[in-house]
Amino acid sequence: TMTNIGSDEKVLYYQVDYTLTDVPEDAAYFHAQFRRANPLPYKSVYTIVDGIKGKGQYVGTYMAWGVNNNRWWGEGEIKFYMDDDLEFPTICGTGTEDYFCGSYNFDVQGRYTEFSTPYTGMHQVIRPDGLYNSQTRFGLYRWHIMDPIRFDTGLKVTIQALGWRSEGRYLPLQDDIASVAYWYQTLPFEKFPNLPSKDYLEII
């Protein structure tokens, strides 16, 4: 469903391609779900998607990450809770930049460096301008095509927002984080959470 929540009328152009064929009962359908937390509550874990029930395959993550602190922000682990694994994750990552196939803080010669590949990347870095745009923001993606994540009965995906504070201690971040999760699954599917209001979604 496409919904205009703005105050101005817009024109939407679209094209639908289809094939006349029989669809098996156990066919998996494409799903995508947007979420945002701004700011992420202190010591909370950001949920990319949860409530998936059924059989399917997780195929990708897009994240828009607005940093609200100085220093490093990408120490958090991504966690996939598959099927009956509820208390401990089935797959646990080693850090945000590792999940997006970066390393060493995405730092090349003392600055964040964009990169883009067919399956993963940090294609966007919005840098402070020294005046009104004071926060650094990142666009990151990871497509699980070569490394599919398949589940039989359900899936939940979370990611920690962690940086560093003094004395080598973790700093729970309260960042502006948005994401889109992409997956295929058999029907029926669970109802998606309601989208936030226009004012909540506005990036300032």
Residue 189's pLDDT is what?
86
Residue 132's pLDDT is what?
86
Residue 30's pLDDT is what?
95
Q: Domains along the chain? A: 29-191 (2.60.120.1390)
Residue 134's pLDDT is what?
87
Burial of 122 (0-12, 13-18, 19+ CB in 10 A): buried
Residue 196's pLDDT is what?
85
Residue 117's pLDDT is what?
97
Distance CA 57, CA 152 (A): 9
The 10s digit of each residue's pLDDT in 125-163 is 999 998 888 899 999 999 999 999 999 999 999 999 999
The 10s digit of each residue's pLDDT in 33-69 is 999 999 999 999 999 999 999 999 999 999 999 999 8
What confidence category does residue 203 fall into, taking pLDDT thresholds of 50, 70 and 90?
A: confident
The 10s digit of each residue's pLDDT in 9-21 is 999 999 999 999 9
Q: What value does the mean pLDDT take over residues 100-123?
A: 95
The 10s digit of each residue's pLDDT in 62-100 is 999 999 988 899 999 999 999 999 999 999 999 999 999
Residue 2's pLDDT is what?
81
Residue 202's pLDDT is what?
86
Strand pairing report for 107-108 and 111-112:
antiparallel
Q: What value does the mean pLDDT take over residues 102-130?
A: 94
Portion of the chain with pLDDT greater than 90, in percent: 82
Residue 173 confidence (pLDDT) above 90: yes
The per-residue DSSP string of the chain comes to -----SSS----------------TT--EEEEEEEEESSPPTTPPEEEEEEEESSEEEEEEEEEEE--SSS----PPEEEEETT--SS-SEE-S-HHHHTT--GGGEETTEE--EE-SSEEEEEEE---SSS--S-EEEEEEE-SSS-EEESSEEEEEE--EEEEGGGEEEE---EEEEEEEEEEPSP-PPPPPPPPHHHH---
CA dihedral (79, 82, 84, 85) in degrees, to 10, reads -20
Distance CA 155, CA 28 (A): 15
